[in-house]
Each structure stands twice: as structure tokens, then as C-alpha cells.
Amino acid sequence: MNKSEFVSAVAEKSELGKGDAAKAVDAVFDVITSELSSGGEVRMTGFGNFSVTHRAESKGRNPSTGAEITIPAAKRPKFTAGKALKESVNN
């Protein structure tokens, strides 16, 4: 499912117009992005948690040349599924 299909499904489920559903979906994504950018977390009971993890600098190898390279430290977004979401997927 791509974003357009997602917006259509939200519009149908919530009985909103597609324009309003698109604004709502964009707002949800913006709020999650903003919160994670500021170092926070977003917890949605039953659905899951969005958080930021920190990956330390590490050494790696360039697969083409075999030369050793340094992989810089980075922050990564992480999603952990909640119990209700896990159960609904496994049923």
C-alpha cells in the first residue's frame, strides 16, 4: 500500500473527504517526525512506539576494493510494534 492508497483507505474508514484525510495523514507524519527530530518518543498504546536509536561509529569494508572505511555514528528512527498490532498480524 502506498501513501495515496493509504489516504484513500483513511478517507473511506473515517468518512472524510480525500483532501481532509490527506491533511490528517500528513499531520500525523509531521508530528511523529517532529517529535523524533527533537529526541522524543511517540507511544501509541496497542499500536506501537516510535523512538530514536543511536548507532556508534564502526569500521567496515568497501565491497568493491576491500579498503577499510569508517561508518559514522548516526541516529536511526525505530518502530516497535505493540501487543495488539502483533496479535492482529499473527491471527
8-state DSSP, 46: T
User: Roughly how many angstroms between the first and final C-alpha of the chain, as a whole number?
Assistant: 20
Please say if the pLDDT value at position 91 is more than 90.
no
Q: Hey, what domains does the chain have and what are their CATH numbers? A: 3-90 (4.10.520.10)
The pTM of the full predicted model, rounded to 2 decimals, is: 0.79
Question: Which pLDDT score, from 0 to 100, does residue 42 have?
Answer: 97
- 18-37 vs 3-14: helix crossing angle, rounded to 10: 120
34-83 pLDDT per residue, tens: 999 999 999 999 999 999 999 999 999 999 999 999 999 999 999 999 99
